Structure 1
Amino acid sequence: MNFPRIDIDLAKTAHNIRQLKKLYGSQGIDIIGVTKVIGGNPIIADVLVKNGIKILADSRISNIIKMRRAGIKAQYLLLRTPALSQVQEVVIHTHISLNSELEVLKRLSECALRNHITHKVVLMVELGDLREGIMPSEMNSIVKEVLSMEGLDLVGIGTNLACFGGISPDADKMNELSSMAIRLEEKFKITLAIVSGGNSANYNWVTSSKDVGRINSLRLGESIFLGREALCRKPIPGLFTDIFTLMAEIIEAKRKPSQPYGQVYQNANGDIPKFENKGLMDRAILAIGTQDVIVSGITPKQKITVLGASSDHLLIDNTETNLKVGDTMAFDLNYSALLRIFSTPYIAKNTINQYECESIL
C-alpha cells in the first residue's frame, strides 16, 4: 500500500448522512452535501447520493465536472459566488449558483439565453459574517431586477455565517433570514424553494429551536465527514468522527540532539524557530510535510509529540514510541487538514468498508 495515504470509511460516511438527514429532516430541513472538502471525489459523492442527498455543492467547477463525468446523478450547486470570467462554465456545468453581484447575474442571464438553458440562482444575504452577501437594505431592488432577467430562475435566498467572521447562526440571525424570505415572497408573489440558513455551524440552533421558520436547507460538509458541528467543533451525538485516517511512514529513526546547533536564521517555513535543550533525543521523520497537509490540523492517534515540519518531512519525538524505519503512524484530521489533503495528488486516497456501505444502501 502506498504512503502517505488517507483511509476513507464509506460505511461510516453513509451512517453519518442518514443520521443527519433524520435529525434535520425532523425539522423540515433538507441537506445539501458539500463536496469541496473531499475534492469532488466521485466514490464518496456516490455514497452521498445513494443515501438521499439530492444536491451536491462545491466551490470548484473542476470538481463538479469530475463528479458529473463519473456519472454521479445529482443537482450541482456552485458554492463560491461566480467570477465574471467563469459564467459560461457555471451555466454549462452547474444547475444552481449562489450569487451576490448584479453584474454577474446579468452575465449569467445572457449566457443562459445563448445556451437555451434556465439557470437557477440563490441570492446570498449579508447578515454579519462579512463574507459574500447582499446587504438586506438592497434585497428588494436586486430581487426585482433578477426576476426580470430571462434565463434565470430565482429559487431561493441564503446566508453564510461562522466562516470569515465567526458569527454564530443564532436564533436572531435565522429569524432575520426567515422574515426576509416571507417578505420577499409576499411582495413579489413568488415561492422560494430554498431558504438556506447556513452550514454545519447551524447544529446548535436547529437542536435548540422549536420552530425553524422558513429555513428549509443547510449546506453540510464538516458534520457529514467529521461528525462535528462547526462553531465549537464538538462531536454530534450518534455520528462517527473518525471517517478519515491519515497514514504516514517512518523514513528515519535516530538518536540526535534535541536542539539544532549552529547560527540560527529562518527555516523552510520562514520562521525563526526556538527549541528547548533536552539533551539527546530519539527522533523520527515521517514522509509527509506541509506540501501535503496543514500540520497543525493533524493529531497523532499514538501518544507522541510532533516537533515540527518542513515541506516534505514531519519530525516527531520518538523516545517513548520507539518506531522503526518502515513503521507507520496514524493521524486524525480537522477540516482544514482534510481540505488540503484532498487538494493534493501526493496522498493516496484509499476507500475501506465498501461492502458494508453497499449492504446498507
Structure 2
Amino acid sequence: MKKYLFLFIAVLVLGTVLSACGSSNGDDGSKSSGGDKKKGFKVAMVTDTGGVNDKSFNQSAWEGLQKFGKDNGLKLNTDYKYLQSNQASDYEPNLNTLVHNNGGYNLIFGIGYLMEDAVKKVAAANPNTHFAIVDDVVNAKNVTSITFKEEQGSFLVGVVAGMMTKTNKIGFVGGEKSALIKKFENGFKAGVKSVNPKADVLVQYAGSFSAADKGQAIANSQYGQGADIIYHAAGATGNGVFNEAQNRKKKGDNVWVIGVDRDQYDAGMPEDVTLTSMVKRVDNAVEQLSKDAMNGNYHGGENLQYGLKDNGVGLSEHHDHIPDNVMKKVDDYKKKIINGDIKPPQTDAEYKDFLASLK
C-alpha cells in the first residue's frame, strides 16, 4: 500500500513540475510570440503621382513612416519602404507588389485621394491584408481612412493673408480640382474675407499635382495681376509657385508663398519667400497608425479625422514674418473654430452662405 502511495505522490509531483514548466513555456512563448510579431511587422506606402519628394503630403507621409521604422529598429526597404507612382496606372500594381512580394506587408498606405479606386479594388481582393488611405474614405473592414479638416487650417492662413496683403489681391493655386482641394480653397477664402472684406482672391487650378511648370506659370500670372501672397494646395505643382516667388524676390518684388501639408520653409529659401505653411500632420497620423497596427490594433473600417482640436492641422512653426497682432488674431479664430462658434466652409455653396453671414 505504501508502495502505491509513494508512486501516486511521485506522479503527482512530476505532473505539477511539468505543468509549471508548461506554464513557463507558455508565458515565454506568449512574450516571444509578441516579440516575434513585433519584429516581423512590415509596413509600406505607395505615393501618388506627386512623388515622395513633392515637399508636400507624400514627403510628409514618408517622413512619418521613416521615423516609425527607425524608432522601432526596422530595416529600410525590407521592413518599411515606399513605392513611387509615376502615373495613375502604377497605383494598383504598386499596391499588389506590396501585398504579394517580400512575404507581404502587414499594413499598406495609399497616399492621396487619387488612390481611392486602387485601394478599394486591391483591398477587396486581399481581405487578409490591412490597408490605409490618406485624404479619402474607403468603406471596407480592412481599410483605415485618414482624413483632415483642411478647411480649418486653411481658414487660419487665410486670416494671415487677409491681414498682411498690401495690394488686397491674394492668389490660390490648386492642383486637381476636387472636393478635397475645394476644402483648402473655400476655407482659405473665408479666412481672408473674415478679416479683409475688400481683398480679392484669385483662384486657378493646374489640373495636376506634379506639374511645377504649370504652377510657376499660374503664379507668374497671379503675381502679375497684383497678388502679393499666394497659397498653394497643389503638391509638387506648388514647387513652381515657390520658384516664381524666388525669381521675383531676387528682382526686388515683395511677394510671399503660403506652403501646404508640411512646413515648406526650406522650399522658400534662399530668398526667404515662405510666409508660413498650413501643415497637415500626415507624418504623425502615419506614424501613429503604424504603431497601433504593430501592436495589433489596425482600426479597420474606421475613419480617423484630424483637425485643429487634435493638432492635426494648423500653422507651421516657421512664422517669423507674421506680426504679433496677426498671430493673436489667428489664435482668436482658432479658439472660435474649436469651440464651434465658426465653421469654416468646405464647398462653394457653404462659402456663399458664409459670405452672407458676414454682412
Specify the TM-score bucket, using the shorter chain as the normaliser.
Answer: under 0.3
- Structure holding more strand per residue: 1
TM-score with structure 1 setting the length: 0.27
- Structure holding more helix per residue: 2
Which of these two proteins has the greater Rg computed from alpha carbons?
Answer: 2
